[in-house]
């Protein structure tokens, strides 16, 4: 007698963006029944069941979730940026989902007190301001809040890249839509600190598959994971790989760090080394990112060239 297969239900908060769209496609390919709640302003991948609501309209968002009258195996929140978003997740999903997966950031760590050579995932020194500070406050709500029977998992990615996004990983060329044209024209790439900061960019598809491997994985419950790619490189090398793919040269113009930070204090978290050990992912049975930076950037460049 054939075994019955149960299709797992997954709700994405977001679903039409860069990372959320990648997650939706990966989940569909893995056999999930995929739902997405979006503002309805951009298309979602074919096969996704769409709920339309703006999460910033709390009453509308609540009503749409309630009217769906569904219990999900997991909810992946791609667009929780401030504590109010996390409070919303806990309130609405602790009785409607078995698990919440929250995409945080490695910017939760105080950039002046990061550990080297590897970032310690248990480093107690956190950002208190800006994007990283808000994401940390979201994490704290999960750590200390009443999530009922709903389990949770947090991922903290480094720079995310891949088809669906622009290229560029460091000011002043972060997600620069003109980067390919500038490289082809022989223009210098202006990088703060010359781009000598180490990082491990993660290919978006790898991040999506890692999160899907956490669904229903008891070893991932109540855990916060640094989720980086397999290759640690200096940031300028990221641009060198792109130039090599295009078959052009690379000239880097260094922007002094201190004056830049004085003018752009919110950019401080970019200017430190961001590398980690992926062993904790493997130990918990998660799918460890394996797309090399060269292979991932080649796919990214090809997607932009059409």
Tens-digit pLDDT profile for residues 184-232: 999 999 999 999 999 999 999 999 999 999 999 999 999 999 999 999 9
Rounded-to-integer distance, Cα 19 and Cα 305, Å: 20
Q: Which pLDDT belongs to residue 20?
A: 97
Give the pLDDT of the chain (306 residues) as one tens digit per residue: 444 468 899 999 998 999 999 999 999 999 999 999 999 999 999 999 999 999 999 999 999 999 999 999 999 999 999 999 999 999 999 999 999 999 999 999 999 999 988 999 999 999 999 999 999 999 999 999 999 999 999 999 999 999 999 999 988 899 999 999 999 999 999 999 999 999 999 999 999 999 999 999 999 999 999 999 999 999 999 999 999 999 999 999 999 999 999 999 999 999 999 999 999 999 999 999 999 999 999 999 999 998
Helix 204-214 crosses helix 18-29 at what angle (to 10 degrees)?
Answer: 60
Rounded-to-integer distance, Cα 211 and Cα 30, Å: 12
Q: Which pLDDT belongs to residue 229?
A: 98
Q: Which pLDDT belongs to residue 83?
A: 98
Q: Which pLDDT belongs to residue 238?
A: 97
Rounded-to-integer distance, Cα 29 and Cα 186, Å: 40
Domain architecture of the chain: domains with CATH = 9-164+200-229+278-289 (3.40.50.720)
Q: Which pLDDT belongs to residue 2?
A: 45
Q: Which pLDDT belongs to residue 80?
A: 97
Rounded-to-integer distance, Cα 303 and Cα 180, Å: 12
Q: Token pair of 234, please?
A: 């200096």
């Amino acid at each position: 007698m054939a075994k019955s297969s149960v299709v797992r239900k997954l709700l994405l908060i977001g679903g039409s963006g860069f990372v959320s769209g990648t997650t939706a496609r990966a989940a569909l390919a893995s056999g999930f029944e995929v739902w997405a709640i979006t503002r309805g302003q951009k298309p979602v991948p074919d096969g996704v069941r769409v709920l339309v609501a703006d999460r910033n309209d709390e009453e509308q968002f609540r009503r749409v979730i309630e009217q769906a009258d569904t219990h999900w195996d997991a909810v992946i929140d791609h667009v929780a940026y401030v504590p109010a978003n996390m409070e919303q997740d806990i309130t609405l999903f602790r009785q409607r989902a078995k698990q919440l997966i929250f995409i945080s950031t490695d910017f939760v760590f105080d950039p002046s007190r990061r550990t080297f050579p590897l970032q310690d995932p248990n480093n107690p020194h956190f950002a208190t301001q800006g994007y990283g500070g808000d994401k940390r406050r979201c994490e704290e709500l999960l750590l200390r809040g009443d999530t009922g029977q709903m389990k949770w998992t947090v991922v903290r990615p480094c720079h995310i890249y891949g088809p669906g996004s622009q290229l560029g990983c460091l000011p002043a060329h972060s997600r620069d839509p003109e980067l390919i044209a500038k490289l082809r024209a022989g223009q210098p790439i202006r990088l703060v600190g010359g781009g000598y900061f180490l990082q491990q960019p993660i290919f978006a598809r790898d991040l999506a598959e890692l999160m899907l491997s956490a669904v229903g994985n008891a070893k991932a419950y109540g855990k916060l994971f640094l989720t980086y790619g397999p290759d640690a490189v200096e940031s300028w090398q990221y641009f060198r790989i792109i130039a090599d793919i295009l078959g052009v040269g690379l000239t880097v113009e260094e922007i002094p760090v201190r004056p830049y930070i004085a003018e752009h204090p919110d950019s401080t978290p970019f200017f430190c080394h961001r590398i980690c050990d992926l062993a904790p992912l493997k130990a918990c049975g998660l799918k460890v990112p394996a797309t090399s930076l060269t292979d991932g950037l080649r796919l990214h460049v090809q997607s932009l060239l059409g």
